[in-house]
Every structure is written in C-alpha cells, then in structure tokens.
Amino acid sequence: MSETVPMLDSLGALGAALRVQGSRVGVGELLAAHRALEAVDCCSREESRLALRAVLCSDRGDLSRFELAFAAVFGSGQVADDGNPLEELGTIARQALPRAAIPGSAAPAPGAAEESTAVPAAWSDVELLREKDFSHYTEAEMALARELIARLARRGPTRLSRRTRPVRRRRGHQPDLRRVLRASLRTGGDPVHRHWRAPRRRPRPVVLVCDVSGSMTPYARMLLQYLQASVAARRRVEAFAFGTRLTRITNELEGRDHDRALTRAAAAVSDFSGGTRIGAALAELNRVHGRRIGRGAVIVILSDGWDRGDPELLGAEMARLRRSAHRLVWLNPLAAHPDFEPLTRGMRAAVPHTDELLAGNSLASLEELASILEEI
Amino acid sequence: MTSLQIGSVEAVREALAADGYLADRPLALAVHLAVALEQPLLLEGEAGVGKTEVARALAASTGARLIRLQCHEGIDLHHAVYDWDYARQLLALRAAEEGVEEGELFSRRFLLRRPLLDALESDAPVVLLIDEVDRADDEFEAFLLEFLSDFAVTIPELGTIAARHRPVVVLTSNRTRELHDALKRRCLYHWIDYPNPEREREIVQQRIPGVPEAIATRVVTAVGRLREHGDLYKLPGVGETLVWARALLALGEDADLEETLGAALKVHEDVVRVRQGRVLEGV
C-alpha cells in the first residue's frame, strides 16, 4: 500500500497535466494506467512510459501532449528522449506571440449578451437583411442573422446509404425476408403478405474551406459563422480555414457554445487577415487531409480568389480536388457584382474546375448554396 | 482456461518475428498490454504500414484462431453478428404439414453465425480483427462500443450469449473519419509509423526470402526518397516496398527504378513529378 500511494499521486498529476493540454483523461483511464504499470516492468522508465502512452493516448495528437506531460511529471530523464525538443519550442513561441481575434468582432461588451439573443422585430427586418452585403453589416445585424444562418446550415446534401429501411413496394426494391417470414407464421406458413426494403438516405460529407486572408476580412466573420453552424448542426462536416497556410478547425468549431467555438477557432488559425496562397493551402488539403475528405464529399471553397501564389499550382490542385470530390462549389463574394468576371489570376485558374460558382456575400446567396447542396 | 497468454514484451516480439512480422518495441509493448489487460488495441497509421498484419501474425504465431470482420459502409448486426437463414426457415415452414413451433423456427438450426458471434462462441483462443472500423457508420460504432465492453450479444429469440473467453481484439482504422471518443477510450492506442530504413530492409529480406542485399538496399533507399519528397499525394507504404522489391527480383538486379515506379506510386501526377524532378537519380 505504502508503495502504491506515491505512484497514484504521480498518475493523478500526469492525468491533470494531460487534461490541462486538452486530452480527455478520466478515472477510467487512470485505473487502466495503474493496471498497465503492473503488467510491465515498472522499474524501467522507458517501459513505463510506453505503457502509459498506450493507455492514456487515444489520438495521434495526444502523443506529443503525453510526452510533454510525462516530462513535466516524471522529469525528463535522459535528455535525448525521442520527443522532439524543437516541437516544444514551436508551441512556446506560438504561445508568446499575440493572437489574432476574429476580425471586426471585438470582445463582446458586457451588455452584449442580450444582443446575441435578439429576435427579428418583424419579418421585414429579415427580408431586408437577406440581400444586404455581409461587409455592410452592423454588429446588431450580425446577431440577427445568426439564427437564419443556423437554419440554413441544417440544409445539406444527402446520398443513398447501403443500409435499408422498410418501404411499400416500388420498383427495384429488395424483399424483406425477415418480415415476410414473421408474417407468414400468421398465415400457416404461406408467404401471403410481402414486405420490401429500400436504401436509406444519409448525409453526404461536406468540406468547407474558408479564406480568412486580409481581402476576405469583411466576409470571413459571417462565413465563419456559417462554418460553425454547419459543424454544429450536421454530421460529417469538416471545416478548414486558410490564409497562407491551412488549418483544420473542425474540432474547435464543435460544441453548442457559439462564441466560444469561434474564439477557439480564431486562436487556432495563426494567419488571420494576412496574405493568401490558395494553391499551397489546397495542396496541403489534398495531401495531409486527403483521407479525411475521402471520396464523394461536396467541397465548398469560400474565397475571393485573390491569390499571391502560383496560379499553375492552384489549377493543378483544383483539378486534383475536383477528381476526388463529388461536387466542387466556389463561393466568391465578389461574384455578387453584376459586372463580375473571374479575371484575377487565381480565379481564372480555378474556375474551369468548379461545378458551381456562387456569390456568397449575403444571406440570399447562402440560401442559394443551401438549395444547391440539397439538390446534389 | 484457454485465453491467449504471452509472458512478456520480448516474448510478444519474438512470437511476431517467428511469423515474419518485425515489430519495434513500442508496438510489441502495446500488443503485450492488449493481451495482458484484455483490452482492445486500436491501430492507426498510413496505408500499407502493416496494421492488419499485426493481428494475422499474432494469431499465426500463438496458434490462436484469427476471426476477421471487414467493416464496410452500411455494415449492420446481420453482417457482423448473426442472421437467420430465412430461405431455409420458409422451406421448413412449408414442408411441415401440421405447422411449426415458432421456437423451433428460431433455433440454432437456422442461425447463421457471423464473425462476432463466432468469436464469442469459439472454444479455442481467438484473435478478433475488426478491420477498417472507420468505414462503418456511427450506429455500428455505437454497437461495437457495447460489444467491446460486455463481450456479449443478445439475440431476441435465443437470449444473451456471453464470451467463453475474452478474445484479443485488434481494431484498425485508416482515419478516413475520426472515430467516436467513447470507442477510442475503450481501446489501447498505437500509431504505426513507417519503419526506419534498416528495419525496412530487414522486413524486405524477411518477407522475400532470397532477395539479394543490393535489391533490398536500392528499393528501401528509393522508397525513403519518395517519402521525403514532401510533395506527393500518396506515399508508398511497406506493402509497396515489397511489391517493388519483387518487381526488381523478377526483372533482374539492374532493372530501372523509374520504369518500375508504378509498383510504388499509383497517382499519375506523382509519377510525373518524380520523373521530372529526377528524384531517384543515382539510386
């Protein structure tokens, strides 16, 4: 007993250190860790480290957090453990740098809480808002639009699943033998009543890729709201933000608390209101997240197409994305202008590979996106 | 008592090696823990790093029975646990003149056992491989969660069937989507990385008996360069290394690597990029 108490204490400390970094470690994990230590040679530091790692990590991202927490609780042992010291340096540097908040939405004033629950005074308010350009929105209007955006975000594409559900007979459906048999018990073994099954409809994966560079700033705050609402409302939605590099913000945007989700996402994106390299961002999407996007997803890119990178790269990456996606939709706020022609170098490279080019500057255009998604 | 038992980490490593699987220490330790703690092991890693092989080698080297459940889109209880043989039930129903008892109709005679039920009822020790669990949907994942905590299933007509011995469970995922947290928390976790060059050379020599040293070295160096290239859509896994080595073995030691690039790279743009960049020059 006297031996296990210090061990329990350090395990508790290790769990706490992991939780601080955002890993999910509960009592169950700590009990399992305790059992794991008994199963290995716990005099060996390396052995114990590996055992604890197997029990306490449940994700690749957890591995680096574990190394930090382990070093913090049990000391760093030999200096050359196989954790990478440079990585650690990177996170420290990032913590020291000032973080950008969502542009244009300064910290909510103390009295702003009521504002976020504002309801439209009359239908006409909403009607006026529909056509208004996002860049001309006031803070109050943004709060008003939130509810509408959340409603739009619930609408999305579906596809046929391989799971089936019982239906009335229509052509091409499979017989439901289970129910036929059950029914025939009642008719003395004769399958008098027939039953059928047909495929169900499931949500089709959606990937939203939002440009948060300088030129998109007036629109990014509203479009990010759409991203957040989509992630919260539907299953199988992935969200990314990019300026000069790509950041996956799906995990940050999850959860019911709308404001916190957006703050988390803003903290994760390190290049708000900076330059744009769409080609490089899409290259990363294709390579690092290719698996996650998978096949058969609808990919929506929200960007004005002002690209400072190589248009050839953008063209090639768009072609690749188009081939692995089910549909590729581009939302360009500039496209709302009646004289809009996709003339920027970036847009010219990208347009041949898109299935749909929409405006994306107002609620009306998001509504258009929602109906297109539903038809897909 | 016929559950699988292996004494130590080193013993696991040797057992796997006996079947031609060269595991590094962290992996062997994870497998050892999975066996010792009777907890499922979740293996993730890039395609072709040998996730599935772990279960196969573990079963083969310990003499356990390997039961494999390949997950796919739309998989449900009737694919994974049990189903009734409706066609035979209907026949039996028609054949019996004076009617059949319902209990008789839903008896083991007409039960089709699928992999998970098979694993529960096996008398011999079992390694249960649940392959590519990320392809199944949320509903099936929720069922798996229940299955992996109780090791029992309920068939309404027959009652609850519990495991005779807890099988060693290995799950693999390709990360096409994130698994549910609850499922992950029930499992031990190990990320299988690409092996380092020396180990990969050992693997090539182990898996292709009689391969000349020169071929093994060339292929491993070439694959290493492709993985370091940093601008390819799909990187070659260990599986591709083996195919490439076999290709060179068939063509002769001096065969051109660029000509046989199709053994390692399967995306046209990647092949073009490697040829234009002269990535394999001098190998």
pLDDT tens, A233-249? 988 899 999 988 899 99
In 3D, which of A199, A176, A198, A179 has the Cα closest to residue A187?
A: A179
**CB contacts, 8 Å: B177 with chain A:** 236, 292, 294
Preferred mutation among A45, A178, A181 to probe B, highest tally of B CBs within 10 A: A181
Alpha helices per DSSP H over chain B: 9-18, 25-37, 51-62, 77-80, 86-95, 102-105, 115-121, 138-150, 181-186, 197-207, 213-229, 238-251, 268-276
Q: Picking from A183-187, A298-302, B132-136, B244-248, which range would have the lowest pLDDT averaged per residue?
A: A183-187
Q: Is the pLDDT of residue A106 over 80?
A: no
Chosen for mutation from B5, B25, B37 (greatest number of chain A CBs closer than 10 Å) is: B37
In angstroms, rounded to a whole number, what is the distance separating the alpha carbons of residues A352 and A216? 22
If you measure CA to CA, which chain B residue comes closest to A57?
A: B189
Domains assigned to chain A: 4-96 (no CATH), 159-203 (no CATH), 206-375 (3.40.50.410)
Interface test with A, best of B185, B228, B232, B265 (most A CBs within 10 A): B185
Which of A28, A53, A292 has the CB atom closest to B177's CB atom?
A292
Of A127, A126, A166, A164, residue with least CA distance to A147: A126
The whole-number pLDDT of residue A77 equals 62
For residues A119-128, give the mean pLDDT.
58
A181-200: average pLDDT: 84
Residues facing B189 on adjacent strands: B42
Mean pLDDT (chain A, rounded)? 81
pLDDT of A107 > 60? The answer is no
Mark the ranges of chain B whose per-residue pLDDT is less than 70.
Answer: 1-3, 97, 99
Asked whether the beta carbons of A303 and A332 are under 8 A apart, the reply is: yes
Whether B99 sits inside 8 A of A286 (CB atoms) is no
Q: Is B13 on the interface with A (CB under 8 A)?
A: no
How far apart CA A142 and CA A133 sit, in angstroms, is: 11
pLDDT confidence of residue B147: 94
* Contacts B84 to A, Cβ<8 Å: 178, 181
Q: Which of B216, B212, B171, B163 is nearest to B192 (CA)?
A: B171
Write the single-letter amino acid at B88.
R
Q: Which strands make up the sheet holding B188-192, listed edge to edge?
A: B65-70, B126-131, B168-173, B41-45, B188-192
Q: How far apart are CA A259 and CA A263, in angstroms?
A: 6
In angstroms, the Cα distances linking A95 to A107, A240, A244, A267 are: 20, 21, 19, 10
Which of B32, B70, B272 to substitute to test the interface with A, most A CBs within 10 Å? B32
Does the interface ipTM go beyond 0.85?
no
Cβ A58–B189 below 8 Å, yes or no? yes
Please judge whether B231 and A283 are an interchain contact, meaning their C-beta atoms are less than 8 angstroms apart.
Answer: yes
Give the three-state DSSP class for B59: helix
Start-to-end CA span in chain B (Å): 54
Q: Give first-to-last CA distance, chain A, whole Å.
A: 64
- Burial of A349: CB neighbours in 10 Å, binned 0-12, 13-18, 19+: buried
Q: Please indicate whether, in this complex, the C-beta atoms of A58 and B187 are within 8 angstroms of each other.
A: yes
- The CA distance from A284 to the nearest CA of chain B, in Å, is 9
Report pLDDT for A110: 45
Considering only CB atoms, which chain B residues are within 8 Å of A189? Answer: 90, 93-94, 96, 99-100
Nearest chain B Cα to A295, which residue?
B176
Contact assessment for residue B174 and residue A294, using Cβ atoms and an 8 Å cutoff: no
From the list A161, A177, A291, which residue is nearest B175 (CB)? A291
CB contact under 8 A, A36 and B105: no
The distance of A112 to chain B (nearest Cα, Å) reads 35
Residue of A nearest to B93 (CA): A189
Angle, vertex CA B278, rays to CA B274 and CA B282, nearest 5: 120
- Residue B133 in contact with residue B142, Cβ under 8 Å? no
- Asked if A190 and B191 come within 8 Å (Cβ–Cβ), the reply is no
CA B26 centroid distance within chain: 18
As a whole number, mean pLDDT of residues A39-47 equals 82
- Residues in chain B with CB shorter than 8 Å from the CB of A283 are 231
B103 reaches A (C-beta below 8 A): no
- Predicted confidence (pLDDT) at residue A188 exceeds the cutoff of 90: no
Structure confidence at residue B84 (pLDDT): 93
The strand pairing partners of A239, in sequence order, are A208
Give the integer Cα–Cα distance in Å for A40 and A286: 41
CB pairs under 8 A between A and B: 106
Q: How far is CA A341 from CA A301, A346, A347, A351, B122, in A?
A: 18, 12, 9, 11, 68
B33 touches chain A (CB under 8 A): yes
> Tokens representing A375?
């038809």
For residue B200, the model assigns a pLDDT of: 94
Cβ–Cβ contact B260 with A under 8 A: no
Interface residue B268 vs chain A (CB under 8 A): no
Per-residue model confidence as pLDDT tens digits over B33-88 = 999 999 999 999 988 899 999 999 999 999 999 999 999 988 999 999 999 998 89
Q: How far apart are CA A161 and CA A158, in angstroms?
A: 9
CB atoms within 10 A of CB A36: 26
Distance CA B247, CA B262 (A): 10
**Chain A: residue whose CA lies nearest to B36:** A39
Instruction: Provide, as residue numbers in chain B, all residues whose Cβ is less than 8 Å from the Cβ of A178.
Output: 84, 86
Flag if A290 and B233 touch (Cβ within 8 Å). Answer: yes
Please provide the DSSP assignment of A15-61 as one string.
Answer: HHHHHHTT----HHHHHHHHHHHHHS-TT-HHHHHHHHHHHH--SHH
Residues of A in contact with B89 (CB under 8 A): 181
What local confidence, expressed as pLDDT, does residue A87 receive?
44
Residue A346 has pLDDT above 60, yes or no: yes
Tens digit of each residue's pLDDT (9 = 90 or more) over A19-28: 888 778 888 8
Cβ of B37 under 8 Å from any chain A Cβ?
A: yes
- Say yes or no to pLDDT of A305 above 70: yes
Question: Which is nearest to A296 in space by CA: A320, A327, A326?
Answer: A326
Q: State the DSSP code for B47.
A: T
**Dihedrals phi, psi of A23, to nearest 5 degrees:** -80, 155
Residue A112 has pLDDT above 60, yes or no: no
Closest by CA to B57, choosing from B30, B28, B20, is B20
Using an 8 Å CB-CB cutoff, list chain A residues near B36: 39
3-state secondary structure of B66: strand
Q: Which residue's structure tokens are 């390579």?
A: A287
Cα distance between residue A55 and residue B32, in whole Å: 12
Please answer whether residues B152 and B160 qualify as being in contact, where contact means their C-beta atoms are separated by less than 8 angstroms.
yes
pLDDT tens digits, one per residue of A62-90? 888 898 888 888 877 654 444 443 344 33
pLDDT value at A113 more than 80: no
pTM for the complete prediction? 0.75
Q: Distance, in angstroms, between A341 CA and closest chain B CA?
A: 30
Contact B26 A320 (CB under 8 A): no
Query: B148 or A189, which is more confident?
Result: B148
Does domain B9-77+114-192 fall under CATH 3.40.50.300? My reply is yes
A344 versus A359: the higher-pLDDT residue is A359
Closest CA to B223 of B199, B207, B251: B199
Question: Which range (A106-115, A182-191, B195-204) has the least confidence?
Answer: A106-115
Cα distance between residue B139 and residue B77, in whole Å: 10
> B271 CB near a chain A CB, below 8 Å?
no
Diameter of chain A by CA atoms? 80
pLDDT in tens, A127-170: 777 888 888 888 888 888 888 898 899 998 988 888 888 888 76
Q: What is the pLDDT of residue B71?
A: 95
Pick A291's closest partner by Cβ from B84, B100, B176.
B176
Smallest CA–CA distance from A61 into chain B, residue: B191
- Among the partner residues B37, B42, B90, nearest to A35 by beta-carbon distance: B37
